[in-house]
Chain A
Amino acid sequence: DAGITQSPRHKVTETGTPVTLRCHQTENHRYMYWYRQDPGHGLRLIHYSYGVKDTDKGEVSDGYSVSRSKTEDFLLTLESATSSQTSVYFCASSRDTLPGTEAFFGQGTRLTVV
């Protein structure tokens, strides 16, 4: 597996508090992604980045923001956490978006908002 690490691995937070999840990759991949995984919904894209300081929204971006100040780091922030954001969050990276380029996933962060 590619070197992608997420932190924290588990977090419990209260409704209304801001939360930041971190993703770090050592593959020098240009593209990075944040997905959330919920039962019955599969993996849904929140935001993605196609380079330092270049980001774009995904399918379920409301309530989330991202930042990428270095190639290796991609941060996901829940500005004011809600119970609907309880989920497992996966970071992924890929070298490019050409056909055949696989995505490498981190171990995931289980976030519970109470």
Chain B
Amino acid sequence: GQQVMQIPQYQHVQEGEDFTTYCNSSTTLSNIQWYKQRPGGHPVFLIQLVKSGEVKKQKRLTFQFGEAKKNSSLHITATQTTDVGTYFCAVRSGNTPLVFGKGTRLSVIA
């Protein structure tokens, strides 16, 4: 089935530094979703990317879908303590349930 590799597994940054997590697939993706899970919380949908080369922004968060639709990235500019959590990418192949990457856990040091 569909699989995605997500890197890095952990990232520790100083508050104000930037952060990026990457999601890679060996096959072409039809779309990709990103979720955020706060510590002790549940995953919450952030965004979906569908088009080749698509870039979407949500305030300090920038999401990108690769030209070949085999990779995606989430970039956070000037991290804040509120950005702490685990970020997951998720993909779906045809009419199947979402398959999640293993996530990147972000720690922000104030």
Contact = CB atoms under 8 A, between A and B. Distances in A.
Contacts of A59: 1
Interface residues of B, number: 25
Given A31-B97, A45-B97, A100-B31, A108 B42 contact: yes
Given A94-B98, A103-B45, A105-B42, 16 more contacts: A33-B98, A42-B101, A42-B102, A43-B43, A43-B88, A45-B99, A58-B97, A59-B1, A90-B43, A99-B30, A100-B48, A100-B50, A102-B48, A103-B90, A104-B45, A108-B42
Interface in B60-110: 88, 90, 92, 95-103
* Interface footprint category on A: 20 to 34
A70 interface: no
Interface in A80-114: 90, 92, 94, 97, 99-100, 102-108
A58 B50 CA distance: 25
A27 to B, nearest CB: 13
5 contacts: A43-B103, A58-B97, A94-B98, A105-B42, A105-B43
A40 B100 CA distance: 12
Contacts, number: 56
Nearest to A31: B97
Interface of B: 1, 6, 9, 30-31, 33, 41-45, 48, 50, 88, 90, 92, 95-103
Contacts of B101: 42
Contact of B92 (A42, A97, A106): A97
A40 B101 CA distance: 10
Contacts of A92: 43
B25 to A, nearest CB: 15
Contacts of A99: 30-31, 48, 50, 92
Contacts of B90: 103
A88 to B, nearest CB: 9
A48 B6 CA distance: 23
